[in-house]
């Protein structure tokens, strides 16, 4: 039977690349998006062209009822085997003293509360074992001074969530790991007010270039799959040396 994987924020960026990679590897995929229906529909077309069963659900991961509905929809594809907790946001890059409380709350809500709600649904439904991959960030250990320290702090919480859940869910045969990307070429930088960040930040990346979404998707796919059968509670850094 094909693996069935839920990917949050699968319409664009790292989530979309992960959806395409998993479909090519034989997964059935349920993805969610928040606003950009056209992008999610385009991904869906690619997944089906690759032979996967796939569906896209508009669901805000910060809303428990919408998260529940997402996982109910995914059940149409078969018994759940995996979750990629990926839907995340930043906020305008700038000094800590300028951080607005609404932006702080949004970052905590999407990047932490949303991850917890989705992991909880997955943990309840992965009755025959499975795998969860949380998309963290290299920011968790770098701290992102002058950019978004609050975002970095929340990504550090993702790492702790990964370690704790890995231990709690191991007896149920559920592995929980994280991937920590560095600077990857996606639209997230435009949302933080610096659309050219993937190029302008190159000077601080040891490998001398930004990452591409599929290079992160490769690590996510490995952690989800049977080749990573003895990996749990780990944070895999994929950051070009950052």
Binding stretches for ligand NAP (CB under 6 A): 8-9, 11-15, 32-36, 39, 59-62, 86-89, 110, 114, 135, 137, 181, 183-184, 186-188, 191
Least Å distance between CB 155 and ligand NAP?
7
8 A C-beta contact, residue 192 and residue 91: yes
- Among 33, 115, 148, 151, the one annotated catalytic: 151
The residue among 3 and 213 lying less far from ligand NAP, judged by its C-beta, is 213
Phi-psi region of 212 (alpha: psi -120 to 50; beta: other; left: phi over 0): beta
Least Å distance between CB 61 and ligand NAP?
4
What are the tokens at 218?
């490769």
Least Å distance between CB 58 and ligand NAP?
8
Least Å distance between CB 229 and ligand NAP?
25
At residue 58, φ and ψ (nearest 5 deg) are -75, 115
The residue among 42 and 230 lying less far from ligand NAP, judged by its C-beta, is 42
The residue among 42 and 170 lying less far from ligand NAP, judged by its C-beta, is 42
The residue among 157 and 170 lying less far from ligand NAP, judged by its C-beta, is 157
The residue among 83 and 87 lying less far from ligand NAP, judged by its C-beta, is 87
The residue among 15 and 130 lying less far from ligand NAP, judged by its C-beta, is 15
174 forms beta bridges with 130
Least Å distance between CB 1 and ligand NAP?
27
Active-site residue flag, 151: yes
Least Å distance between CB 101 and ligand NAP?
18
Three-state secondary structure readout of the chain? CCCEEEEECCCCHHHHHHHHHHHHCCCEEEEEECCCHHHHHHHHHHHHHCCCCEEEEECCCCCHHHHHHHHHHHHHHCCCCEEEECCCCCCCCCCHHHCCHHHHHHHHHHHHHHHHHHHHHHHHHCECEEEEEEECCCHHHHCCCCCCHHHHHHHHHHHHHHHHHHHHHHHHCEEEEEEEECCECCCHHHHCCCCCHHHHCHHHCCCCCCECHHHHHHHHHHHHCHHHCCCCCCEEEECCCC
How far apart CA 242 and CA 5 sit, in angstroms, is: 29
Known catalytic residues are: 151
């Amino acid at each position: 039977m094909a693996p069935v994987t839920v990917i949050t924020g699968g319409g664009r960026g790292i989530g979309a690349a992960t959806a395409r990679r998993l479909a090519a590897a034989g997964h059935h995929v349920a993805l969610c998006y928040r606003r950009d229906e056209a992008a999610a529909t385009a991904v869906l077309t690619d997944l089906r062209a690759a032979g996967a069963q796939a569906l896209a659900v508009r669901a805000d991961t910060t809303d428990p009822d919408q998260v529940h509905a997402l996982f109910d929809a995914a059940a149409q594809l078969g018994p759940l085997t995996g979750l990629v907790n990926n839907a995340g946001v930043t906020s305008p890059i700038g000094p800590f003293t300028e951080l607005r409380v609404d932006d702080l709350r949004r970052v905590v809500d999407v990047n932490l509360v949303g991850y917890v709600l989705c992991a909880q649904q997955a943990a309840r439904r992965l009755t025959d074992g499975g795998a969860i991959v949380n998309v963290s960030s290299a920011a968790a250990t770098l701290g992102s001074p002058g950019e978004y320290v609050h975002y970095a702090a929340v990504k550090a919480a993702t790492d702790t969530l990964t370690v704790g859940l890995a231990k709690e869910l191991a007896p149920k045969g559920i592995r929980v790991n994280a991937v920590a990307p560095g600077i990857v070429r996606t639209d997230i930088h435009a949302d933080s007010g610096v659309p050219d960040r993937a190029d302008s930040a190159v000077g601080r990346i040891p490998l001398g270039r930004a990452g591409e979404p599929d290079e992160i998707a490769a690590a996510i796919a490995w952690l989800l799959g049977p080749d990573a059968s003895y990996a749990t509670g780990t944070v895999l850094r994929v950051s070009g040396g950052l």
